Structure 1
């Protein structure tokens, strides 16, 4: 099989910030570790930016469980460099990969980080990831980061990102600084992305210092992780619908990652059959088409290995809108292997093969090879 992995991550070494970040920002807000030691247990370090913890609800129970569980230290080390990433891809039979940050998103989107610091870290990451992927630009495709702390800067950020050669921007699905993605303050951003033909990849995560669903009522890893990816994916799709974004910017492509795909049939069915026809006069100007039609036109979604109901997903959005992402090297997805992709899947073998190469090539507008 030829595999295009649409969700593969780096592990950002600490030294990159001193090299790629503006020196004044680095002196005021350096990223660093604080180590914690207990009798017979070496707890994992806590990340800080300046004096601010980078992860929310990263408590002792999670640290202890992380220290005691089997480690994937080899995979994390490989993800620190482009050469290591390629080595890991060869081991997993991955031909191409879309490359995402791990910790940078928690810095750039942190609600306590000042606007100029958020922007500086986003742009420093973009400079570094381009160098990271330089080892093989045909196989390693980087996703750029933007700072959403000041939405008036977004169009300029996109212009620079386009000049740097990026084709994908990754953003979190949550509201940042009080604005959700369907609000009019983002219209210039969407217009710039459409102008420069840049795709948008939604990638959530647990432990953001922000307004992630569930963070206001839970503090356990179990519940936070249950909410952070899938529920945010559903709500950001609704936000874009409510904001008329799909109708106003029909050439944009939106990619939903690490939330699975089985949520789609129920969500689209409910939006189409319960919410959309309830008060037609209230939605006819914003949504001349049903919600499912906008997903089929503008969106792609990645599936999980072994996920149920994918045949029903295909019934709703077609077999050309499914992608695969391994989430390497993160510990909640350590079971990835090529055999698992073709065994016990709720998809036909032909559909599985299509998701692994043809669909991502079409999504990103690259010719078939």
Structure 2
């Protein structure tokens, strides 16, 4: 398996560089107006875009009923976007496919990058009908403007988690198109193990598409606080507690028997960290020993289902005071085959491929940067 390339530096010596598969690259549009060609007249009116955009009077919009995305309550006091990633053509970071390919893929020896929507999350939008139509439009826009421009781009398709029937129809529509490698389910207040999601899981497993979960609409719109005991006051608290969402949902998936019912289905949790994983496994395994009569459908230890069916994006990786402790955490969880390198480009806390995991063994680095993603996504579809 080819997983590295040899490059010569200016002195003529050869250096081997690791090939990379990036499981979390964020695509943006500069303006929602870019979606106009993909929307019918009705949706343009409801989104207040194109020729139907509400006119202003003396610089003020007359109507207060403008469309707005469900926004997270927490605002980074600096910027969520890297200020060194603006495109030469003036596009905001992550909005110019050609520049992203040069600035990220070319520098990092990236073979594939999985695109995850960053400014178009409708998982908490109150009007499910609009959410359904918008997600289809966005999928079309992203496919034409990104996937068809560079073969290295792959995408997670948006579906509406609050409408499984519509989600299934959207997966049937584009789920087998080349370049579509995952389903971005988006976060809601419904635990992922609930039967509400079973129709989505059934077709996802049949199509070989992992379910991707990523922070986006939690704590916004129709969703309650993501911090269990109450809403966080600051961006720092919210960001530090994102792992709670993954832990709760993984426990739900395991205990509700999703991985027994859909044994080939993979879940990718991106941007939730991973240092909490050993403790979650240990607690679930311990309780299963005493309470297995409550979950008779579980034929294996919870930790075995997690290792088989769950994958974790590495960014933002925890940073212990002793770098060797990170390796110990991975080994304690038996997570060597679970971790997928994620740059989170172009976000403020992104990880550069040549600056992370330098203290890990070479074989493990190759798994994280390359092999684990190959075993998770079908890049040949």
Q: TM-score, normalised by structure 1?
A: 0.82
Matched, 1:278 2:290: yes
CA distance in 1, matches of 2:69, 2:378: 39
Q: What's the offset of the Cα at 1:155?
A: 2.0
CA deviation map 1:10-39 (0-9, x unaligned) = 112213221222331121223799xxxxxx
CA distance in 2, matches of 1:85, 1:238: 36
CA distance in 1, matches of 2:219, 2:194: 24
- Unmatched tracts of structure 2, length 5 or more: 1-17, 54-63, 321-325
Q: What's the offset of the Cα at 1:288?
A: 1.6
Residue aligning to 1:42: none
Matched, 1:208 2:212: no
Greater Cα radius of gyration, structure 1 or 2: 2
Q: In the alignment, is the contact (CA less than 8 A) between 1:2 and 1:357 conserved in 2?
A: yes
2:141 to 98, 105, 128: 128
For residues 66-85 of structure 1, the aligned pairs below 5 Å read: 66=78, 71-72=83-84, 74=86, 77-85=92-100
CA distance in 1, matches of 2:307, 2:157: 25
For residues 24-63 of structure 1, the aligned pairs below 5 Å read: 24-30=42-48, 50-52=66-68, 54-57=70-73, 62=75
Structure 1 residue matching 2:148: 3-state secondary structure: helix
Residue aligning to 1:328: 345
Q: What's the offset of the Cα at 1:366?
A: 5.0
Matched, 1:23 2:41: yes
CA distance in 2, matches of 1:350, 1:163: 32
CA distance in 2, matches of 1:120, 1:225: 30
Change (3 A) 1:185 1:54: closer
Change (3 A) 1:313 1:17: same
Residue aligning to 2:203: 192
CA distance in 1, matches of 2:82, 2:139: 32
CA distance in 1, matches of 2:195, 2:79: 44
CA deviation map 1:182-240 (0-9, x unaligned) = 1112211111111111111111236632234128422321222222x311111111121
Matched, 1:170 2:181: no
Q: What's the offset of the Cα at 1:121?
A: 1.0
Q: In the alignment, is the contact (CA less than 8 A) between 2:123 and 2:188 conserved in 1?
A: no
Residue aligning to 1:12: 29
CA distance in 1, matches of 2:169, 2:238: 34
Q: In the alignment, is the contact (CA less than 8 A) between 2:225 and 2:231 conserved in 1?
A: no
Residue aligning to 2:240: 226
User: How many pairs align?
Assistant: 335
Query: What's the C-alpha RMSD, in Å, of the aligned pairs?
Result: 2.8
Structure 2 residue matching 1:164: 3-state secondary structure: coil
CA deviation map 1:238-278 (0-9, x unaligned) = 121232110000011111111122111111011111x2123
Q: In the alignment, is the contact (CA less than 8 A) between 1:341 and 1:352 conserved in 2?
A: no
Larger helix proportion of the pair: 1
2:255 to 217, 221, 242: 242
1:303 to 306, 314, 333: 314
CA distance in 2, matches of 1:298, 1:81: 34
Change (3 A) 1:31 1:85: farther
Change (3 A) 1:127 1:69: closer
Q: In the alignment, is the contact (CA less than 8 A) between 1:173 and 1:233 conserved in 2?
A: no
Change (3 A) 1:67 1:127: closer
CA distance in 2, matches of 1:222, 1:8: 22
1:268 to 262, 276, 281: 281
CA distance in 2, matches of 1:342, 1:153: 41
Residue aligning to 2:110: 94
CA distance in 1, matches of 2:164, 2:194: 11
